[in-house]
Structure 1
């Protein structure tokens, strides 16, 4: 996702910006600073404290994170978890139920097997036997919450990559508002939320990428105020074997990467967390099932679909309503 260049002068308020590494990628914050708001370095410190805590809780790339300590547990064990992890488990369980198990946080063993996960060794199509063995350790139904504990009745491993960045965006946005900042654009690993207007009175404009792996090209520009925006796509992380393409987006029901023609989907939602999870869910479901799901649940969605001659787009009324209509 591309963020438009900001410019202009205003009424004495200033536009502040800072960025840095986060969650294996980058984050960036832009906000309108008033005379009564904290100094930028203080704001940045608060943001980076949040990101450090998210990493400590959710990272699958550090052995001391809460989620990795849980993943190391054998079956029929429980672990006390912080409230944010339990919150995201509840959100994910709902999405899993509504997608009939296609969306699932416990796909990490599959990601590793196919070469996409944190413990992956080689990108390749696994044997039928190894796939069958790993699928015994996949399934959201093996998780349950017992008060402040997360429990497993099989040796499942959870991966929050489909919702953790959206959660981080929401948490940062809440902190900015608590500090008196009402106009901002928060972006973490491509998930974002914008509110208010820039210091020159113009809206925050977001450019959505065309799903190409060779360069960044704006497919469409939208206006965002008070909403989270998430784009999920299969065009950056994939491998090819025997002339077939395998993406990092998995359908937990089959244990394999999706093979439909939906290249990317953008979701707008008041919650960046929900936009993050829903964009992944819709991408997994594909151009037909995903579209029906979005319409049934009134989800603002923008689909980019592969054809033999290029890409075609499809957008619903909820997306047009929430994005302020087409701007470019």
Structure 2
């Protein structure tokens, strides 16, 4: 599968991720009679996915669960991938202005969410940024990373804007040659779909991960919590700066510290502000969001990263978003989490400074 989420690190199924997984059982605790930890995973969305769950005597094994998960991931790829020309959304993207196309309900669901996030961010977050991503060198049709001139930027911006989309019955329509990019929310959507399917199979304790998006419910076989390590935004190595217990929430981290290019001493991140058409330039290195929906955590983490450390913080407070900010400060970072995040993770809300001499930018 080729659908990639550009603003997350890719990690293995077990071990520390961008929003890392820690503390996985290797088997059942002797006290947990009749249960054991089952795990499986594989490639997806240009990266990987993993599922760990506590299997009890009356619950299905991996041979029954894994095909269900893979079917969901394959469906997401067919509907939403911008990295295959025959997906539903890429066939829509290839249409000219004043066109409509019948769409499956999941695609329309994500378009509606994109409109909501675009409106509440005053247009800075937008699903139609693919022409800009391609122009700067970060998109599926990119040839090379570049700093576009004013004319190129103005031309691409005419094809950006959620106001150019509308839904008529089960059709998605556009009045300009816009192109929709679901890379900031598709993985979170997939995690929610997998989570719902696993619950429908009677499994009550599990952790689902796809391309770094996570959701955990219940406990491990020994009764201990699922533990998630939040990674420092470093270029040189992966170090957890905070570990949280997770139960009933999705977690997403968006950052600008891995996907960028340097030109004439200037650092250009892949995270674009749809209003300016240019990469965001601010001190916010990464944002982690906790939310009952992995889909919402996915979209909101990107939105807050685009807004930056001040506007993003105010948005999180106004909309009651549980958020954890890592802000550049010289050669180190200032870590700041809001009360909603600390109440869920058991931390404290006092900003702390983390030294990091090895970090670029």
Q: 1:102 touches 1:284 (CA, 8 Å); kept in 2?
A: yes
Q: Hey, what does 1:245 align to over in structure 2?
A: 267
Structure-to-structure mapping, 1:128-207, within 5 angstroms: 128-207=150-229
Give me the whole-angstrom Cα distance separating, in 1, the residues matched to 2:338 and 2:195.
Answer: 27
**Deviant stretches of 4+, over 4 Å:** none
In structure 1, which of residues 229, 235, 239 is the aligned counterpart of residue 251 of structure 2?
229
Give me the whole-angstrom Cα distance separating, in 1, the residues matched to 2:88 and 2:159.
Answer: 19
Q: Deviations over 1:258-296 (max 9, x none)?
A: 000000000000000000000000000000000000000
Partner SS for 1:20? strand
Q: Deviations over 1:6-60 (max 9, x none)?
A: 1361323000000100111100000000111112111001000000000000000
Q: Hey, what does 1:76 align to over in structure 2?
A: 98
Q: Structure 2: where are the runs of 5+ without partners? A: 1-18, 349-361
Are residue 254 (structure 1) and residue 279 (structure 2) matched?
no
Q: Hey, what does 2:40 align to over in structure 1?
A: 18
Give me the whole-angstrom Cα distance separating, in 2, the residues matched to 1:130 and 1:299.
Answer: 36
Aligned residues: 326
Give me the whole-angstrom Cα distance separating, in 2, the residues matched to 1:40 and 1:324.
Answer: 33
Partner SS for 1:110? helix
Q: Hey, what does 2:24 align to over in structure 1?
A: 6
Q: Structure 1: where are the runs of 5+ without partners? A: none
Q: Hey, what does 2:344 align to over in structure 1?
A: 322
Partner SS for 1:32? strand
- Report deviation, 1:5: 3.2
In structure 2, which of residues 117, 130, 138 is the aligned counterpart of residue 95 of structure 1?
117
Q: 2:23 touches 2:226 (CA, 8 Å); kept in 1?
A: no
Give me the whole-angstrom Cα distance separating, in 2, the residues matched to 1:81 and 1:311.
Answer: 44
Give me the whole-angstrom Cα distance separating, in 2, the residues matched to 1:309 and 1:278.
Answer: 27
Q: Hey, what does 1:49 align to over in structure 2?
A: 71
Are residue 59 (structure 1) and residue 81 (structure 2) matched?
yes
What's the Cα RMSD here? Answer: 0.8
Partner SS for 1:60? coil
Partner SS for 2:178? coil
- Report deviation, 1:147: 0.9
Partner SS for 1:194? strand
Are residue 108 (structure 1) and residue 130 (structure 2) matched?
yes
Give me the whole-angstrom Cα distance separating, in 2, the residues matched to 1:281 and 1:68.
Answer: 23
Give me the whole-angstrom Cα distance separating, in 2, the residues matched to 1:325 and 1:82.
Answer: 41
Q: Hey, what does 2:14 align to over in structure 1?
A: none
Q: 1:86 touches 1:145 (CA, 8 Å); kept in 2?
A: yes
Q: Deviations over 1:65-93 (max 9, x none)?
A: 00000000000000000000000111110
